Amino acid sequence: MIGNVIDWIGAPVIIAAVKVVIVFLVLLVVTMLVIWFERRVLAFMQSRHGPNRHGPFGLGQTLADGIKLFFKEDFRPKNADRWAYAIAPVAAMVPSFLAFAVIPIGDHITIGDRRVDFLVSDLNIGLLYFLAMGSIGVYGVVLAGWASGSKYPLLGGVRSTAQLISYEIALGLSLVPIVLVTGSLSTKTIVAAQAGTIGDVTVFDGIPLLQQVQGLFSFVPNWYIWSQWPAFLIFLIAGIAETNRAPFDLPEAETELVAGFHTEYSGIRFAMFFLGEYIHVVAISAMAVTLFFGGWHGPVFGVVEWLWPLVWFTLKVLFFVYLFVWVRATLPRFRYDRLMWLGWKRLIPGALIWILATAIVNTQGIHRNIRLGVFGLLFLAVVVWMWRGDPRLGLIKPVTRSRVREVPSGNL
């Protein structure tokens, strides 16, 4: 009976459905762990204890908070748009789950005579799909701000719109050099292209001095971070901005907008916004690992060989989640004009120049020395442009004692 049902539905459909359910459940658990991890790391950096009461190491605190929000009273403001107000949390949460469909978290296992990849769907336009999910997720923030019927959420939604336009462009442009190098939009192909070590590739061919030391790189993994680190920096900065994390958390700036776009939300709807935000943080971290740090590639030992790629991928993602927390604890929130300046005047021009440099290096028919020379010049241009400060700051004159009008003490 069961065999007939499997034959009627089809094994590929059943495997895909099982993958979706597993990814959904794992992401729910991962979200709770990430929230606990962030609270513990922030407490350590600020000389506090953090959650330590419920469960081992305070792990039960996040679960308790989720249960509390689930049963908390829900309300809708009188001036809110009924349907848009209800749809906004779902629109902010669901795309974060869907973004994981194209992220390979491991190699594969064999069940019977069937190969099962640790990937929900190997789309040939995987990177475009990932960018689309990130763009759709911000519409939930915009809807929440507009539908709440209050000025502070509306300002948060407007800020989110401008921030999306600014940094989504930079995020998309930072992926173009990877596509030029691999010739594919498939994340599975991109991970496969980073297998092996630098000593196995032909990057040193034609350069006698480097050919002599090529053996020293036989242990260095062939990750794109070595050749595409400007694209990685742009991707990382734009990714932090797209997830509305500090120092780019202007849509929910509590010192100006009470709580920003989610001011009028409570209970489970409020929890859905933060669920989507934290899953998006994990998604950006996982995509950074996939594109620049070899994905799941790493040393594989003889015991349970299919498990080691999952372990290496998890450790790499954990490093980037820690980086998100570290940045939040370290950097103050950007001023809004500085946010726009960084996106439009530094990241986007730098990404365009780096695309040109990558395209020249990967163009066949041009002499190697010419390609390397142009690449070096454009590389220096990107570095100088990215690290060059805002010229408007030079126009600000420091306040000196002679410019300060002294007020007699009797007039205070």
In Å, what is the CA distance from 322 to each residue of 41, 42, 108, 281?
8, 10, 27, 11
Same domain for 62 and 82, yes or no, is no
Q: Is the pLDDT of residue 260 over 80?
A: no
Per residue in 123-157, pLDDT tens? Answer: 999 999 999 998 888 888 888 888 988 888 888 78
Amino acid 256: pLDDT? 66
Same structural domain, 312 and 165: yes
Q: What is the mean pLDDT of residues 289-303?
A: 91
Other Cβ atoms within 10 Å of 49 Cβ, number? 10
Tell me how far the alpha carbon of residue 125 is from its chain's centroid.
Answer: 18
> 268 and 303 share a domain?
yes
pLDDT at site 179: 95
Shared domain check, 172 and 212: yes
- The total domain count for the chain is 2
Domain membership flag for residue 403: no
Residue 142: predicted pLDDT:
85
Please indicate, yes or no, whether residues 144 and 234 belong to a single structural domain of this protein.
yes
Same domain, 255 and 172: yes
Task: Give the pLDDT score at 99.
Answer: 94
Q: What percent of the chain has pLDDT over 90?
A: 41
Whether the pLDDT of residue 368 is over 90: the answer is no
pLDDT grade for 10, boundaries at 50, 70 and 90: confident
**What's the whole-number mean pLDDT along residues 287-297?**
95
3-state secondary structure of 365: coil
Residue 43 counted as domain residue? yes
Are 211 and 201 within 8 A, CB to CB? no
Is 400 a residue whose pLDDT tops 60?
Answer: no
Residue 371, number of CB atoms within 10 A of its CB: 17
Residues 307, 322 within the same domain:
yes
Q: Is residue 363, in this structure, part of any structural domain at all? A: no
Among residues 53, 71, 89, the one where a domain terminates is 71
Maximum Cα–Cα distance across the chain: 97
The residue with greater pLDDT, 210 or 344, is 344
pLDDT at 102: 95
Q: Which range among 172-176, 212-216, 324-328, 360-364 shows the weakest confidence by mean pLDDT?
A: 212-216
Confidence (pLDDT) at 398? 58
Cβ neighbours for 355, distance < 8 A, ≥ 6 positions apart: 173, 176, 177, 180
φ/ψ of 264, rounded to 5, equals -90, 10
pLDDT higher than 60, residue 18: yes
Which one, of 339, 31, 291, 321, lies nearest residue 164 by Cα? Answer: 339
Residues 168 and 41 both lie in one domain: no
**370 falls within a domain:** no
Domain that holds residue 159: 76-334
pLDDT above 70 (res 407): no
Choosing from 71, 93, 116, the residue where a domain stops is 71
**Nearest residue to 242 (alpha-carbon basis) of 286, 279, 282, 281:** 281
The residue from 71, 95, 117 where one domain ends is 71
User: Across the chain, what does the average pLDDT equal?
Assistant: 84
Based on the domain organization, do 181 and 216 belong to the same domain? yes
Is residue 335 scored above 90 in pLDDT?
no
The per-residue pLDDT for 409 is 54
Q: Does residue 385 lie within any of the structural domains?
A: no
| Residue 141 forms part of a structural domain | yes
Residues 19 and 148 both lie in one domain: no
256 and 301 share a domain? yes
Q: Per-residue pLDDT averaged across 239-268, rounded?
A: 80
Alpha helices by DSSP H, listed for 148-228, are 151-182, 187-193, 208-212
Parallel, antiparallel, or unpaired for β 114-117 and 108-111? Answer: antiparallel
Confidence of residue 57 (pLDDT cuts 50, 70, 90): confident
pLDDT over 90 at 373, yes or no: no
Residue 343 resides in a domain: no
3 shares its domain with 135: no
* pLDDT of res. 6: 64
- pLDDT for 193 equals 93
Q: Does residue 387 belong to any structural domain of this protein?
A: no
- Do 303 and 124 contact (CB within 8 A), yes or no? no
